[in-house]
Structure 1
Amino acid sequence: MSTAQPVQPSRSLAAIWISLISNIALTLLKIGVGLAFGSSVLIADGIHNAGDIIATVAALTSSMVSKKPADDDHPYGHGKAEVVASAFVAVVLALAALWIGYHSILSLTEPAVSESALPLVAAIVSLVWKLLLYVYTIRIGRREKSKSVLATAYDHLADVYASLAAVLGIGLSLVGEHLNWAWSAYGDPIAGIIVSLLVLKLAIEMGKEAVDILMERTIPPERLARYEEAIFALEPIKRIDRVRAREHGHYIIVDVRVGIPSHYTIQQGHDISREIKRCVIESDEDVVEVMVHLNPWNEGE
């Protein structure tokens, strides 16, 4: 019988470890340079990165837990540990967005700070670094179907937004100083406000997806239709009463209720259940468990 491909812990964990080390390095870089040169957007971006460290640790822990096999206390496995981590990352991003927005607005009420080239270089380094990390982790997350790695990838994407805004804001301030544009001196905090809105939007989208899975929202109708088609292809199946499915982290669990001839023996019913499981799993590599309930069907129904 075909089964879903297991997540490769080495790739997923390696991606998260690389993200963790990168976040620590970038946090020290941004906060250090931001404090030294008084760049509010770089400091805000650095604080955001500090929150990323906590989020990445949560993703790392959940990724390790999710690989544990099913046990008596968790008969359906530990896959939702990654979804919990994804929800946690969404909360961290939302708090970071509010923090960045608040301090950026405060900066607008204070005298503008003269920018220098080093904060701009730090922001560019962060932008390139985070863009590469996003591409790397999104590929690993999609390939391994790991919610925790995907959450880490979207966290990197939020940092790409933040670093891009920092580059634009600091760059605008530097250009404005040479061209005597008084308004450009506030490019830094304005960029921070834009960053906060982008990060908040990303956090809401991540949080909604995590909540949908935790609340066991059904999978898309076209996927359910694929399961029904595979089941109906079996000759003994006379009626499909219900097909339900839910994500459980990086895999899917399916519930099936079908009608078979009422005169079938228990052995025949057992064999049909095995065939239903086989055909559903073969129709979708993400399915790892199919629970089958057989109902009696009589001629003329």
Structure 2
Amino acid sequence: MLAEKDRYSAGRKASFISLLINILLSTIKISAGFAFASKALIADGLHSVSDMASTIVILISIKVSQSPADKRHPYGHGKAEQIGTTILGFILLFTGLMLIEDTVVNIFSGKIAIPGEITLWVAVLSIFTKEGLYQYTVKIGKKINSKGLIADAHHHRSDALSSIAALIGITGARLGYPIFDPLAGLLVAVFIVKIGIGILNESINELMDGTPDQEKIAEYREIARTVQGVKGVGQIKLRSYGSKVIIDLDVAVEQELSVIEGHRVATDVSDKLREMDANVKDVLVHVDPWQDKEKQLNISKGE
């Protein structure tokens, strides 16, 4: 597992590469869109501008999240990544809604121009560049377990898909159907809104301590059951904290155990979970006495 310093360094490098490419690409797309009359390419270029804003937000949030715990933040600053991801979702949503308004006004105005040939090549350049950037960023995001960086990677993928829509719109317009270009711009805008809403749903769920992964509960339950002295495992709660997860669980032990022995079992459970999953930040173990058969069954099932 990467140390926090190395994790931030890897995330910062990926973010700076993304930022540089997006500056160049958005400048090319917006300039070509205005110069050669393509609403679809302008929309696609503004999507790349929102990529730049999101990359900056994610870079800052990763930096803040690696700050150590203090008196006011005893669990550290890991939530900064969820906050950054939420801001990214709002950026996408706002960008998409503004583009929808602009393209709808353009369609109903009836003033639709045919894009120049160069806009086709710019769209093709964007497709390959953004897909490559997606592959690189998502790889780093998974390596350092950064939800913010992974969300940013999907933003790159959405930009590649919007460039495909722009390419189709521009091609249709140049083949004699001018309405295809602004319609492609509208499709790009709707797609951006959809991506923004999806990112917001996930990040807000994590900020409200929603369970990050239901499958992990079963995995952690089985790990806890293997610890010597554990007779049953009760309720398990998970919550995300940046790239980490915090576990709250109940375990049952023999009633005859002393407080010291019960504490040892709880410590062993905590150590075992940390050992088996490097992303576990903290484990809170509540020890219950192993009771009658009916209650035993409920404890074993986590009820």
Q: TM exceeds 0.5?
A: yes
In 2, the alpha carbon distance for the partners of 1:138 and 1:284 equals: 21
Cα separation, 2, equivalents of 1:219 and 1:122: 39
Separation of aligned partners in 2, 1:289 and 1:101: 45
1:41–1:191 Cα contact (<8 Å) kept: yes
Q: Does 1:144 align with 2:144?
A: yes
1:98 is matched with 97
Distance 2:292 2:40 in 1: 73
Stretches (4+) displaced over 6 A: none
Once residues 219 and 60 of structure 1 are traced to their aligned partners in structure 2, the CA distance between those partners, rounded to angstroms, is 22
User: In the alignment, which residue of structure 2 is the partner of 1:244?
Assistant: 237
C-alpha distance in structure 2 between counterparts of 1:259 and 1:13, whole Å: 44
By how many angstroms is 1:150 displaced? Answer: 0.9
Taking a change above 3 Å as real, the CA distance of residues 6 and 254 of structure 1, as seen in their structure-2 partners, is farther
Residue in structure 2 matching 1:225, options 218, 231, 252:
218
Q: Following TM superposition, by how much is the alpha carbon of 1:215 offset from its aligned partner in structure 2, in angstroms?
A: 0.9
Which one of the candidate residues 183, 191, 201 is aligned to 1:190? 183
Q: For the Cα contact (< 8 Å) 2:228–2:265, is it kept in 1?
A: no
After superposition, the CA RMSD in angstroms is 1.9
Matched, 1:134 2:127: no
Q: Please say if residues 43 and 189 of structure 2, whose CA atoms lie closer than 8 Å, have aligned partners that are also in contact.
A: no
In the alignment, the residues of structure 2 paired with residue 43 and residue 219 of structure 1 have an alpha-carbon distance, to the nearest angstrom, of 37
SS at match of 2:237: strand
Cα distance change of structure 1 residues 144 and 16 upon mapping to structure 2, 3 Å threshold: same
Please tell me the residue identity of whatever aligns with 1:244: K
| TM superposition score normalised by structure 1 | 0.89
Deviation of 1:257 after TM superposition, in Å, equals: 1.9
1:5 is displaced (CA, Å) by 5.0
- Residue 299 of structure 1 deviates from its aligned partner by 7.3
Q: Give unmatched runs, 5+ long, in structure 1.
A: none
Q: Deviations over 1:140-160 (max 9, x none)?
A: 112221012112111112211
Q: Which moved more, 1:138-147 or 1:229-238?
A: 229-238
Map 1:145-294; keep pairs closer than 5 Å. Answer: 145-174=145-174, 176=175, 181=176, 184-294=177-287
Query: Offset at 1:72?
Result: 2.1
Distance 1:292 1:114, change over 3 A: same
Q: Measured at CA, do residues 212 and 6 of structure 1 come closer, stay the same or move farther in structure 2, by a change above 3 Å?
A: farther
Alignment partner, residue 59 of structure 1: 58
Separation of aligned partners in 1, 2:212 and 2:56 = 29
> What do residues 144-183 of structure 1 show as CA deviations (whole Å, max 9, x unaligned)?
2101211211111221122111111112222x1xxxx3xx
Q: CA deviation at 1:48?
A: 2.4
Structure with the bigger RCO (C-alpha within 8 Å, sep 6+) is 1
Segment drifting more, 261-270 vs 34-43: 261-270
Deviation per residue, 1:178-236 (Å, 9 max, x gap): xxx3xx11111011111122222211211111111111112433321221122122232
Q: Is the 8 A contact 1:219 1:245 kept in 2?
A: yes
Which amino acid in the other structure matches residue 217 of structure 1? Answer: G
- Residue in structure 2 matched with residue 48 of structure 1 by the alignment: 47
Code of the aligned partner of 2:263: H
| CA displacement at 1:139 relative to structure 2 | 1.3
1:236-257 deviations in whole A, cap 9, x for unaligned? 2233332211111211110122
Where do 1:103-122 residues align within 5 Å? 103-109=102-108, 110-122=110-122
- In structure 2, the residue matched to 1:10 is 9
Preserved contact between residue 231 and residue 253 of structure 2 (Cα < 8 Å): yes
Task: Report the secondary structure of 1:73's partner residue.
Answer: coil
Say how many residue pairs are matched.
Answer: 291
Residue 298 of structure 1: CA displacement? 5.4
Q: Provide closer, same or farther for how the CA distance between residues 113 and 206 of structure 1 changes in structure 2, counting only shifts above 3 A.
A: same
Counterpart AA for 1:73: R
Displacement, 1:63? 0.9
CA–CA distance in 2 between the matches of 1:115 and 1:225? Answer: 55
- The whole-number CA distance in structure 2 between the counterparts of 1:76 and 1:64 is 16
**Unpaired runs of at least 5, structure 2:** 296-303
Does the 8 A contact of 1:70 with 1:78 survive in 2?
yes
Q: Give the deviation of 1:62 after TM superposition.
A: 0.2
* Partner-residue secondary structure (3-state), 1:185: coil
The amino acid across from 2:131 in the alignment is: L
Cα offset for 1:290? 0.7
Work out the percentage of aligned pairs sharing the same amino acid. Answer: 32
- Quick one: structure 1 residues 261 and 173, their matched pair in 2 at CA, closer, same or farther if it must change by over 3 Å? same
CA distance in 1, matches of 2:101, 2:228: 64
